[in-house]
């Protein structure tokens, strides 16, 4: 069953347009009528399978655009421009978005772990903003969580005057349930996250 596609009757499609002289559309009646006739003709020439494909493409286009707009709205100033889309041309000759992405600045804020922590939290929210985050979205969210954890450690080190329990226990391993397995090394007190292990 085809839904959402309505083919107007001949009497509906070709009614002359009433225009007020001097209105912005005055004098364009023939052009508008010609476009309306062409649109009806194009719809009538598509078979049922093509109409179903067009409807699927329209639905996918709406989903992709909503998904990317959710990222964009949540990313705020960390979004590097607007969404980029990949398109497919449907049997009706129209372009439909079938994929997309938003570039987000994921670099830490130099010498400011508090700002880095806030930024990481915003990035994580932006990555998970759509109702159906993709595997790439989840990967970005995990990287943002790691960035937040590193910032929290830096904040704690500053508060402790550099005497951080993780640094004291360097070379040992700790289990942090939210992130799987975390290893702290002596040399840099850096974190290695094994999110899948």
Give 138-157 pLDDT, tens digit per residue: 999 999 999 999 999 999 99
Q: Could you tell me the pLDDT band of residue 45, with boundaries at 50, 70 and 90?
A: confident
H helices of the chain, in order, are 10-13, 29-45, 48-75, 113-127, 135-159, 165-168
Q: What is the pLDDT of residue 43?
A: 56
Q: Both tokens of residue 38?
A: 């062409």
Can you read off the two tokens belonging to residue 85?
């889309």
Residue 189 CA to chain centroid, in angstroms? 34
| Residue whose C-alpha is closest to residue 46's, from 87, 92, 77 | 92
Tokens 């996918």 belong to 60
**Range with lowest mean pLDDT among 56-60, 149-153, 167-171:** 167-171
Q: What's the mean pLDDT in 19-40?
A: 50
Backbone angles phi, psi at 193, to 5 degrees: -105, 130
Q: What percent of the chain has pLDDT over 90?
A: 57
What's the mean pLDDT in 160-187? 49
Residue 4 has pLDDT above 70, yes or no: no
Q: What is the pLDDT of residues 108-118, one digit of tens each?
A: 999 999 999 99
Residues 114-139 have a mean pLDDT of 96
pLDDT for 160 equals 87
- What's the pLDDT at 31? 63
Alpha carbon 131 to its chain centroid, in Å, reads: 10
Report in angstroms the alpha-carbon separations of 170 from 46, 147, 165, 186. Answer: 68, 19, 8, 5
């Amino acid at each position: 069953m085809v839904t959402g596609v309505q083919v107007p009757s001949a009497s509906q499609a070709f009614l002359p347009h009433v225009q007020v002289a001097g209105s912005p559309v005055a004098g364009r009646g023939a052009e508008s009528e010609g476009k309306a006739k062409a649109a009806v003709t194009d719809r009538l020439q598509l078979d049922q399978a093509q109409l179903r494909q067009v409807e699927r493409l329209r639905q996918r286009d709406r989903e992709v655009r909503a998904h990317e707009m959710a990222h964009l709205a949540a990313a705020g100033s960390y979004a590097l421009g607007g969404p980029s889309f990949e398109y497919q041309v449907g049997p009706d000759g129209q372009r439909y978005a079938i994929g997309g992405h938003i570039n987000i600045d994921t670099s830490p804020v130099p010498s400011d772990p508090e700002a880095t922590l806030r930024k990481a939290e915003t990035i994580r929210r932006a990555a998970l903003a759509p109702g159906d985050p993709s595997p790439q979205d989840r990967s970005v969210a995990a990287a943002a969580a790691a960035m937040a954890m590193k910032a929290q450690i830096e904040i704690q080190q500053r508060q402790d005057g550099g005497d951080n329990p993780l640094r004291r226990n360097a070379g040992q391993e700790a289990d942090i349930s939210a992130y799987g397995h975390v290893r702290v090394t002596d040399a840099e007190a850096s974190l290695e996250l094994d999110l899948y292990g």
